[in-house]
Structure 1
Amino acid sequence: MIAAVVVILIFDWPLWLAVGIGLLAMFFAYIAIYLVPLIRWKRWRYDVRETEIEIQSGLLIIKRTLVPMVRVQHVDTKHGPLLRKYGLASVEISTAATIHEIPALDISEADNLRFYISKMASVVEEDV
């Protein structure tokens, strides 16, 4: 609304145009701040199997990543101040080339997942 007042005073535009621009800005802010993150969160998936980890994300372009358990070198959990405030943690799965992240899990769920992935990765290596 401050921007609308500035536009009216500086550029001498009609009131209806300034209000329209302000409403349009509020509409796009709502989409960018609330709607897009909500849809992205609902589209996020992960699945841990005995032989691989599948991570799927994306809004319009869906990215699916398969990480073979044979390639897993180590698994970490991390939580910064913001995640810790809400009792959340992220699981990082490291391979030789990249680091894959499963974000914002409950701390106990993240610890259990880290333990399970490390156990499955060591079992796979023993079989090979």
Structure 2
Amino acid sequence: MRQPPVNRIARDAVKAWKITAGLYVAVLWLATIAIAIITYINTFSYWFVTIAVLVSALSTYLFVFLFPGIRWKRWRYEVFEQEIYIQHGILIVSRTLVPMIRVQHVDTKQGPILRKFQLASVTISTAATTHEIPALLEEDASELRDRISALARVDEDDV
């Protein structure tokens, strides 16, 4: 079996993922509060509220506190002359090899949360799909984008 890739994404990815998950979980908590108010007004059974609070609390723990750290530990990538090797996943670990000859274009992208931590993601597009290496330092993302682009051009010239 092939050795895992050696490069990791930026450590600040954990913070960015926690903030993003916190925003989604906040919406869930608002729905939970709405259920509690509706239940209180209409005097329905309170088990709706109990279930909603338990689901919200469990979701908060898993998606805000537990998964971002595990996700960061599992995310790895490596760029070779002929391929890009990406490994990620929490329960199911996915290992992907993207041949350089199949790379059509490479982009960097950065939303407001990633920008706050000076991070960017690299997206690698092929004819079939798009692969992403998330949350690299801005400088590293730009260098990686340029390196993959150069290697993909060289492979096209060889064909």
TM bucket (normalised to shorter chain) is 0.7 to 0.9
Write out per-residue CA displacement over residues 22-48 of structure 1, whole angstroms, 9 at most, x where no aligned residue: 899756632332112210111011111
CA RMSD of aligned residues (A): 2.4
Distance in 1 between residues matched to 2:54 and 2:92, nearest whole Å: 29
2:88 paired residue among 30, 34, 57: 57
Taking the aligned partners of 1:127 and 1:24, their CA distance within structure 2 comes to 55
Does the residue aligned with 1:66 lie in a helix, a strand or coil? Answer: strand
Which range moved further: 22-31 or 33-42? Answer: 22-31
Aligned sequence identity (%): 58
What is the letter of the counterpart of residue 40 of structure 1?
Answer: R
Which one of 126, 133, 143 corresponds to residue 95 of structure 1?
126
Shift of 1:53: 0.4
1:76 aligns with 2:107: yes
Deviating above 4 A after TM superposition, structure 1's stretches of 4 or more consecutive aligned residues are 9-12, 22-28
2:98 is the alignment partner of 1:67? yes
SS at match of 2:132: strand
1:122 corresponds in structure 2 to 153
Equivalent residue number for residue 47 of structure 1: 78
Q: TM-score, normalised by structure 1?
A: 0.77
| Change beyond 3 A, Cα 1:25–1:118 | closer
How far the C-alpha of 1:68 sits from its partner, in A, is: 0.1
RCO higher in 1 or 2 (8 Å CA, sep ≥ 6)?
Answer: 2
Structure 1 residue 124 displacement after superposition: 1.0
Task: Tell me which structure has the larger Cα radius of gyration.
Answer: 1
The change in CA–CA distance for 1:89 and 1:32 in structure 2 (over 3 A counts) is closer
Report the TM-score, using the length of structure 2 for normalisation: 0.63
Aligned residues: 115
1:69-94 C-alpha deviation (Å, 9 max, x unpaired): 00001111111111111111110101
SS at match of 2:128: coil
**Alignment-mate amino acid for residue 155 of structure 2:** V
Structure 1 unaligned residues grouped into runs of 5+ = 13-17
Q: C-alpha distance in 2, partners of 1:25/1:98?
A: 33
Q: What is the CA–CA distance in structure 1 between the aligned matches of 2:70 and 2:146, rounded to whole Å?
A: 30
